[in-house]
Structure 1
């Protein structure tokens, strides 16, 4: 087996421990996790590429932040006004201004207001939590989040498990008609991490 696949097929607990270890070993990710915790942002999660790209970099010997363009953050606030979200965006932009990567924060309670138009999806029910959005990603591989608790413990959220990440496999999630997004993100991942396999979208 290739060295980068050494954690593929391993028990879930072992894979969760590996993700946590990689995050704790990366100062930028810990700065974001600690900043979110200290900000007390409701139902906050560090999500997606910042996590699975970090894992791929660690397993292939690349620099920890290679290929990571930004750090996505979810939170869930029942106030769905743009004004309330804008306050949070500006506050966290100031908090994380010194980091080498931009932090993009979005209120998941508002996603149903813009997602259908942006992605040409006609049926998108309002979300009830930040974690629920992970289950609607175009690729199951991208559905991963992390949260740091007040006592320092870390939670890893992965509705489809973590084996696709550790298998370097981008797998489609047909819950929404997101073929274009799956293929675009898969192609981009393959261009940065040639070890990745992109599973074709099946109609």
Structure 2
């Protein structure tokens, strides 16, 4: 982690006990091509920057993995396996999704087209705002791999900017939800 913002992000993530438990458990489960992303990553940063408890506002921990088996049964087996690995309350907060399956249900749920993904990192390029497009994985040697296709500047500036590569219907709703919890955040067009 030579980049100062990446190092800073790593320090914030490591200081967030619930998130670190999720990362350790996910690593131990050895899911294929896994990442924890979205609110589990950006919310501790927003909290750190605004002086809140690091777990303030965390509704869930998004755990994505990529398995070419796109059957519902295969994903359901992984969801059950992950649930067994966590104790309450984390069990109810960890949301697991096979990123290879997202295109099968996304359009029906969000009324937007969604082409198939190539891997879990590819999912980050589809997030509504650049500040959410950050994923982390805890490696076997305890290093953190951090992926941020749009960089970390918006995240550390508390800036909500629409995804520059994929317009979404949900940006205004997402931004309003974030501003309600972190009024210090700013929305950029």
With the shorter chain as reference, the TM-score category is over 0.9
Deviations along 1:89-143, one digit per CA (max 9) or x if unpaired, are 1111121233456100100000111112222123x22111001011011111110
TM-score, normalising length: structure 2 = 0.94
How far the C-alpha of 1:174 sits from its partner, in A, is 4.5
Computing the radius of gyration from Cα coordinates, the structure with the larger value is 1
CA distance in 2, matches of 1:128, 1:65: 31
Matches within 5 A, 1:30-41: 30-41=20-31
CA distance in 2, matches of 1:139, 1:25: 24
Deviations along 1:26-51, one digit per CA (max 9) or x if unpaired, are 11111111111110000010101111
Deviations along 1:158-188, one digit per CA (max 9) or x if unpaired, are 000001010000000143341x311111001
TM-score, normalising length: structure 1 = 0.88
How far the C-alpha of 1:58 sits from its partner, in A, is 1.2
Matches within 5 A, 1:146-185: 146-178=136-168, 180-185=169-174
Q: SS at 2:58's partner residue?
A: coil
Q: Which runs of 4+ in 1 moved over 6 A?
A: none
Q: Unpaired runs of 5+ in structure 2?
A: none
Matches within 5 A, 1:11-30: 13-30=3-20
CA distance in 1, matches of 2:89, 2:6: 25
Q: In 2, are the aligned partners of 1:111 and 1:126 still within 8 Å (CA)?
A: yes
CA distance in 2, matches of 1:166, 1:153: 21
Q: In 1, are the aligned partners of 2:66 and 2:100 still within 8 Å (CA)?
A: yes
2:37 to 28, 47, 54: 47
Aligned length, in residue pairs: 187
Deviations along 1:46-88, one digit per CA (max 9) or x if unpaired, are 1011111101111211111111111111100000000000011
**1:80 aligns to 2:70 (yes or no):** yes
